[in-house]
Chain A
């Protein structure tokens, strides 16, 4: 993975971090490197002699060196998250600032530059949109219709060993600082393709500007929270589902993000780059209808220019919109729009801070396989 630092400023390039670079690093205290290495090697050799032994006890190696720090060799169980919800809920308002995408035409494409095998994304002025009219009363009815449409989908059920493929077009807006001058810019709309195994422990990502053309693995010990199996395991009773969502999001929520907003975003995360079973998708929309502050929006445009209606919620001056086809009520995409600006904000009202449109959703037989391809 060799992303170019030039397309989206890497922290090493921020003016804010220049006082912290180059980094000051320190060696381990004298003798400690060797000491810990020997401890590790002792454990390894011991484990290799008795392969079935669990590693729950500390090393019994007799070392000529004694240390008050031998406790360091007892393995600490790492904190494992079983939370099936994306942790993006934690930082909602911040998402706004950094992830600002821009639709609308007219991206003045500047030179992106290339480094290694990742092509940098071109950037242009931050793009803006007309803000649709929000209607709080209309939200339950609209969500009810969306839920019905979601339940009706006759999509194929994935089988063990298959992968969920999601293709989308995305763009982000961020604040770019050059020579002390800061301005909001959007990167060009680019393609993103994600594969995820049903258990969420394996997958692949190809995203322009973020990965090389070849892509990167998404293999992980921490399963992807929006994975098919995780979704299939959710309750389909909307009230029970919403309780679970609040419970899960409360556990990881940044206290600065309002509780209801965190729950709304958590639901969006489960619906977006995912393939929920029809009854779970339907239940998620019904659950969203119960969240205070959720509104219907009469008009919204997705990243590819498709107009639709939206379900939205405003928090911290930004509105997160889930966009649906006006007729079929199929999910088209998601975007975040600035609806209230604070004094001194570089992101003006109407700025699209993040936008993402789903272009294809499919079940494929293998990781990295494209829909229609034979394995």
Chain B
């Protein structure tokens, strides 16, 4: 696959798009808090990938980390300030809440919306560099070294950014726990006993 991408084989790019477009789209959303911008970022990412095809290493596993690295760069150029991210996140949050009023909403979709809102709330707490590493490591399941390669930064930097992100998330978790105590009937948090899922998806990200 890598050889074909490097050689500029159109079919290889078609396969790459089919395999990774959704992933890049969702990654871009987490970085921009805006679905329509995420679509733009996704499209630009693949154009960039085509342009930079010769930079693909000959050896290695999945090309997804490479694509997500490009997507992160593209998203960065779209959106610069934290204030803008928070505004976008607030708007996206409001949009998700509005749709929840629809009666025909299935329970699964509701869960997804809640989870998306929880994600935005968490990511809004972070600075851009922290958001980038957390997004790659948590939702894309990358290992530290892999995220470091994708972003072109030292592994130590990834670790430190994650540690800072974690400290900030802890505050959020505490705040949510408080809220739950106050409103015992409302559960905003997803209880996920399904740890296996997370670990499995992390491994897929490495293939």
Q: Is there contact, CB below 8 Å, between A11 and B43?
A: no
CB within 8 Å for A16 and B157 given contacts A21-B198, A220-B149: no
In Å, the complex CA distance between A338 and B113 comes to 42
**How far does the alpha carbon of A26 sit from the alpha carbon of B23 in the complex, in Å?**
9
| Chain A interface (Cβ < 8 Å from any Cβ of B) | 1-3, 5, 8, 10-29, 32-33, 36-37, 39-41, 43-45, 47-48, 55, 69, 71-79, 81, 86-88, 90-95, 97-99, 172, 174, 205, 207, 210-211, 216-222, 254
- When A41-B10, A69-B40, A87-B157 are in contact, do A76 and B144 touch as well, CB less than 8 Å? no
- Residue A43 contacts which of B29, B50, B154 (CB distance < 8 angstroms)? B50
| Residue in B57, B157, B192 whose beta carbon sits within 8 Å of that of A21 in the complex | B192
Alpha-carbon gap, A207 to B143, bound state (A): 13
> Which residue of B is nearest A18, CB measured?
B192
Per a CB cutoff under 8 Å, which of B44, B55, B129, B199 touches A91? B129
Distance A205 CA – B42 CA, assembled complex (angstroms): 30
Known A-B contacts A94-B167, A217-B60, A220-B149; the reply to A99 vs B156 at CB < 8 A is: yes
- 13 more contacts with CB within 8 A, not counting A40-B47, A72-B42, A217-B57, are A1-B146, A2-B203, A17-B122, A19-B189, A23-B138, A24-B112, A28-B25, A44-B13, A55-B47, A86-B154, A88-B156, A98-B159, A205-B145
Least distance between A358 CB and chain B CB atoms (Å): 15
Measured between beta carbons, the chain A residues less than 8 angstroms from B154 are 86-88
Complex interface residues of chain B between 12 and 53 (CB less than 8 A to chain A): 13-14, 17-18, 21-23, 25-26, 29, 35-36, 39-40, 42-44, 46-48, 50-52
Interface residues on B, range: 35 or more
Given contacts A22-B192, A210-B144, contact A44 B50 (CB under 8 A): yes
Let me know if A71 and B40 touch, CB within 8 A: yes
Contact residues, B44-96 vs A (CB, 8 A): 44, 46-48, 50-52, 55, 57, 59-61, 70, 73-74, 76-78
A102 vs B166: C-alpha distance when bound (angstroms): 21
Collect the chain B residues with CB atoms within 8 Å of residue A74's CB: 44, 47
A210/B145 in contact, CB under 8 A? yes
Q: Do B116 and A78 have beta carbons less than 8 Å apart?
A: no
Judge if B153 is at the interface, Cβ distance under 8 Å. Answer: yes
B3 at the interface (CB under 8 A from A): no
A99 to B201, CA, bound (A): 26
User: Across the interface, do B152 and A98 meet the contact criterion of CB distance under 8 Å?
Assistant: no
Closest A-B pairs by Cβ, 5 of them: A98-B163, A222-B152, A94-B164, A78-B73, A72-B43
Q: What is the 8 Å Cβ interface bit string for chain B, positions 169-201, against chain A (1 contact, 0 not)?
A: 110110010000000000001101011011101
Nearest CB in chain B: distance from A172 CB, A: 7
CB distance from B166 to the nearest CB of A (A): 6
